[in-house]
Structure 1
């Protein structure tokens, strides 16, 4: 059989046999060609031809009658049946305790998929073969193969990028962020914070939430205050000063970065407490990116447009506590609470040694 005169496209080596190739093998077999010669015609190895002949030849039943002949249709059918069983088993098709635990964490504690993966690996909660990687989980989420929907992970739907730009047509209340110590920008030393307010209903005067986030540990403070004004903000800072102590306050709050809102006019007075207060450029919220991201997480508990007066101060604190118990990829899947407690232990131990 001359392959050059065949109307069938020449097959490339390494590809699986097609139905036309099987027909060629059947023809070569009838012509009495050897395995090697058949392999040259089909452009494959001799072992491939031998395996295909076995695949497409039925078994003889009994000692009577003719021996079964090779059938291209039977070989193709057996090949397609085998292909359905040759893929790697899907990790989500079997009973997987990690998936059940992950779904519970997302729904009850608002964890992200990556937090679940990283925390489970760090704590060795499950055998490694059960823990599915983050990329696979998100792919299965969008494919609809998880008992979750994208609406269970609102940050997935809200991700978008904004081009950074700086506008200079607004009054600056104090020192510019350009003068802030470099260690604050590099996030290498604890004690540098970003501050902002979260508003419920914008119409009318009502309570708001004062939020602060520590730049190294991601520790988040949320305090309910009577209104979005400088006196309320300053009263909350006084409360924090009482809680952490006059001696320790300037060590725990080395710098605070705010925007140019009027509610932060008086906090510039914190410099009398040893705290450096700096202001971002006008209309440049991205310069306080950590605080903005944490405030979006806080919106899980208090959506936009919902009055903050409906929530007690203790409820606001509990929301922040839940966020601080959330493992973070950036923190090596430790929680902000764990790292901030270590920072406080260092501050207080240094003070005790100095006093002794």
Structure 2
């Protein structure tokens, strides 16, 4: 771990002994201090501290039909509360969601009408070949040769860094590594075309299935189905 992590731990666990004449590190004391700090960390809720304002909101919401936004801002405008005595409108809505107020979402008809989530339909989403759900279940038993899993291995992910295309056969654990110029789909397919020529008539026996993730670099891999039995 980093030097800072060690220095924090030493600071937490250091105790004074012999009437302040000597300091020593004790792990159990450091752990105790850490657990105490964890119990008190994090942002604290203002719900209990600002109970007067919460009562004000509940009263005017039900009796005067004020919105939560009006409750949060009118009290400041007329000077009934100061800014450190209230919570903002967004927090009030969060309290409603958490069930801390007498107000429920069903009491906020406008909120229920609003669609806060944007649903995007990806019309041009690529179909990157077959789903792994279509892969024969017997492949999981590793009893038949010819079923490979493929992925790319990157170095430091810089523009000029080398990329390795790796293939692992599930039964024999045979491992193939090919260096390709970049992580584009064209470079991946070029590597597979080279393999196809290398194994020629034995290709269908050796490469029965190839499984990859849904990375864009494998977008064209399903084209192998058009030129082979893979």
TM-score, normalised with respect to structure 2: 0.44
Greater fraction strand: 2
Greater relative contact order (CA < 8 Å, ≥ 6 in sequence): 1
TM-score, normalised with respect to structure 1: 0.29
